[in-house]
A and B are shown apart, each in its own frame.
Chain A
């Protein structure tokens, strides 16, 4: 393989492009974790087999890509260069697909996207509403390259930004200033300006005369969040290049990627990418032939949520228990192995090359506020969200900052399925909050979300419909955090237990007068008193639901009623006159609580019912109701 240098990168990219253009078509099969789970790899193999059978292997190439983003519709295959989007593919349909698309020249309608039953198919990816409002910077290469082939990444522009800084001698303060001017803020959750973090680290390293470290935080732990995983799976070289540029700015020669063990595919692709980058001279003792030394080491996390916190992450990297320490002395001054350390999230690093390549002003022009004076004055660029829950088009989306929640949920997400109505959207994971429909027109940026009691977080976005009990949601997140609190500091350890106890008794119908005040008191103690960000934000799910859905709490306590029909102790299932006596429910009831003769009205014995709701799910006549 060639050694990439500043002088030959363009030639290598041009040669790769030329080879690429030699293909008549490329079948970009999504091989992100979601589509792989939906068995996209057998489809990839079937495509290759079918193409081989027809002798088309010199004309059509099959590429396994990273996450396409439209996970709800996987397995996905996009035919390039024309951009035809096939969804919910099946391996058995592959011969017909090849026949139709390439021989008859007509896209196979059965697997084209439709906005709804009976709607017209939308053949092209760019015309699908899910993609139309997105703007990809971090995910620019998703579905477009083979993440396991560095040459393909170079073809698509990888390492151009690195070449630029090396060729033009941009480093140190000048490079840091560009990141500051771009307004880039940390995508991991806190939204701290990346350039300012770099500035502090550079100053500390200079003052102490030591080399700093750069670290990538890939310990994505929010339930339902998969931004970082997908990004690494789709375009690992974007992260590597970002870290190389960071190393160039800070004078670091060693970097680390902390990534959780539960991400085997991301780990495998990142390992391969790092190995290839080393072989191609993009990592190691002589980066791009310039004498710059930088290498990356992967550190596998064992899956503790708190290890996403910077000091806990570094403790874990040092081989100690993943517990945070006080951050009155910042990790940019005393971080990993006591050296000045810049820790940025996967998505943050992936933005860096594009900022360098297109200029900070280009990036600053996207998003909200005017960051020309200070990155604190706005939220520039885009943000990746994993849009999940009660939404039609769940998947991975990248949108410009400032877009409204409504646009994300209803335009990109396609709204709430199954005829239900929107109730809340939870942003920011367990540290975030639940926002009601009155907040749907808020622009999504770091500061607005915090002002409304939630936070950007790393980008988890869970949509909830009217069947969701907000007390139960709060209890769910508190339960999660109870499990994940390291237990080091008293407010977090004891506060979460007490929050859980109070919430549990409310959902059991045992809530008392004064419980809401108690929750608020506990919330304040956690927020003000906890050692690390986990505890300081742990009360957000409770406090935000209390703020926007207080009446629901009160219904639980005063009326012993769960308005959403979720909390088992407060609900009862019954069968209405609509029952046709089909006996479906009788067969599935685990406690034999339902009785009734065929073709006659059935009855639920409340003393036996355990409120599992299975009868409701199977009822053909919507005759089971919950109150």
Chain B
């Protein structure tokens, strides 16, 4: 008899050979570790063990007794001896397979198992004998994948005993079935087939193969990587806090000691689990999480229990930490009312953060806010502004105009210092910033600043590449990244796809792919989708070019409506560096080091104000250099306008009036 070890691992003997495994490992997994094959029909890494085919039965000696167990779900918790081919185990295995063969004589997996066990003609005449080679053998893989894997909850078993069969509710395909075909892909017999391909793709199987590979990765790897199937994007809160990137108190700081109160585990506790995606039918990532039964404490629906769609990371950060609010219920409530009123949680959070900093700095006071205390952290004040905003009343009527207009208003009405407001007002092109601190990543400053629709991070998220992993040190590197990624992400928009499946869950071997930030295997997967749909082979580069045409056209559209020039890519200094002395001091070591190493001044000889001024000059100049580099890489003029050569190369010069618009905007040959 083998013995348990001191390190907690368990020594088990399987067919006389010894394996050391972690407690809870199944016999089947331990046997595979030793290279011992145990046949199994209902086992798959994509779903929890089920233990119903019983083909994997083995005999285990537990000391007190010897018994037959199913190896796929018997967890090893102490030293036992296992015999995978004992007479008693084989008796069960043979009879089970013989009975299956009697019922499904032509199913390949059953026939192969029977041959492997040396079985001849079965001794039974099964009343439900089914001679189809693609008969369902009731292993339940499809039902389990549909329910516990992809959470569509479409397939189920119906009937008892010999009448058991796989079915859909009431025998009809329900609307919840996205036709994802995960069921057909795990089916070992081919019993499930597509009846129809309504979109008439050129090669439906090719699409399904690529799709199932994504399903496999998401179901298998998300629980090891991002846990987005459990908490959505809210898993980012603690990561951003750890990397000093979480917006805190209007983007002044990147971390806060109270963040554990709004970390993802707190939201996991309130998110309903195991439910199909609420965003896109059939998406296996299912990151759209919802709180069921939140009881509202404020506003017109006070006292009601409601379903809240979210919160996501952006809401937790912009409308949570950025406001100094660390109460999950308050964030959920803000989320609900923003949705209810048709407001964006990011814009609301960021403008509220601006209001709070103005209140703290004395630009605002109780008199000016109509009696509201809007100090950072005020939940009551925040929710009241939100309700007023919806009603078009009081201070909410002012705040609802957004950061850009508030800057002007506060200067005109309250005599505020316009330069200070420009520095701390986190907007560009009139849109409020989203939830990342980009001060220490020049590439991300560009990612926000140059983005066509304003400072949203959906064009480029380069902070880790740039700041943490230092993969793009030069201007040329950064410009290349600010070419490739915005174009790549634009491609998702072109096709109505979500980007999360591209790089939130990564393939097992992504780190060895040569360009992990691009996730090459997934880019190839999208090429498979395009080719499968259109019948035309495409490369990743082809996809980028598709985007480039659209992206440049959009930039020119901006130009037409008065926005697409260099001056519109300007960003507030809060996005580039420390505005206040306190901000500087919070990262003094980093800033002093940059002054000494990059700027070439000795911080020890400067006052704090002088250091701030020197750092600002350096960083603002670097941002301009970045714009130059990016414009050049994109084939744009110094003023940020696509050149005539570029639009010709892209073939969008044929658009009526486009070339004339460019010429009128000062673009020359």
Contact = CB atoms under 8 A, between A and B. Distances in A.
A528 B57 contact: yes
Nearest to A530: B54
B75 A328 contact: yes
A550 interface: no
A480 to B, nearest CB: 11
B63 to A, nearest CB: 15
Interface string A510-530: 000010001001101100111
Nearest to B92: A529
A486 B161 contact: yes
B69 A490 contact: no
Interface in A523-580: 524-525, 528-531
Contacts of A325: 51
A327 B477 CA distance: 58
A152 interface: no
Contacts of A514: 123
A494 interface: yes
Contacts of B472: none
Nearest to A518: B123
B76 to A, nearest CB: 10
Interface string A106-123: 000000000000000000
A441 interface: no
A514 B125 CA distance: 14
Contact of A491 (B92, B123, B125): B92
Nearest to A489: B52
Contacts of A522: 95
B91 interface: yes
Contacts of B597: none
Given A489-B52, A501-B127, A524-B91, A482 B96 contact: no
A496 B157 contact: no
A488 interface: yes
B95 A491 contact: yes
A483 B161 contact: yes
A498 interface: yes
B162 to A, nearest CB: 5
Contact of B138 (A482, A490, A528): A490
A529 B54 contact: yes
Interface in A156-199: none
A497 B126 CA distance: 8
Interface stretch (B99-107, B558-566, B583-591): B99-107
Contacts of A602: none
A487 B103 CA distance: 14
B68 A498 contact: no
Contact of A531 (B51, B99, B125, B127): B51
A487 B138 contact: yes
A482 to B, nearest CB: 6
Interface residues of A, number: 34
A326 interface: yes
Contact-size category for B: 35 or more
Contacts of A594: none
Interface in B106-127: 123-127
B70 interface: yes
A489 B161 contact: no
Given A326-B70, A501-B127, A528-B68, A485 B96 contact: no
A544 B156 CA distance: 37
Interface in A468-496: 482-491, 493-496
A329 B126 contact: no
Interface of A (DSSP majority class): helix
B160 A485 contact: yes
Interface string A124-140: 00000000000000000
A525 B54 CA distance: 10
A249 interface: no
B345 to A, nearest CB: 33
Contacts of A296: none
B126 A498 contact: yes
Contacts of B157: 321, 487-488
A491 B159 contact: no
Interface in B163-200: 163-164
A496 B161 contact: yes
Contacts of A329: 75
B163 A521 contact: no
B43 to A, nearest CB: 13
B68 A304 contact: no
Contacts of B261: none
A490 B126 contact: no
B444 interface: no
B52 A531 contact: yes
A326 B51 contact: yes
A483 B160 CA distance: 7
Interface string B21-49: 00000000000000000000000000001
- From B159, B161, B163, residue with most partner A Cβ within 10 Å: B161
Contacts of B125: 501
A497 B157 CA distance: 19
B91 A490 contact: no
Given A490-B96, A524-B91, A497 B70 contact: no
A532 B498 CA distance: 45
Nearest to B75: A328
B138 A326 contact: no
B160 A494 contact: no
Nearest to B57: A529
Contact of B124 (A482, A488, A493, A498): A498
B113 to A, nearest CB: 12
Contacts of A490: 52-55, 96, 99-100, 138
A403 to B, nearest CB: 29
B456 interface: no
Contacts of A493: 138, 161-162, 164
Contacts of B163: 487
B605 interface: no
A483 B164 CA distance: 11
8 contacts: A487-B138, A488-B164, A490-B100, A493-B138, A494-B102, A497-B128, A518-B124, A522-B95
Interface of B: 49, 51-55, 57, 67-70, 73-75, 88, 91-92, 95-96, 99-100, 102-103, 123-128, 138, 140, 156-157, 159-164
Interface of A: 304, 321, 325-326, 328-329, 482-491, 493-498, 501-502, 514, 518, 521-522, 524-525, 528-531
Given A489-B52, A493-B162, 18 more contacts: A321-B156, A325-B51, A326-B51, A326-B70, A484-B160, A487-B162, A490-B99, A491-B92, A496-B162, A498-B99, A514-B123, A524-B92, A525-B91, A528-B67, A528-B68, A528-B88, A529-B54, A531-B54
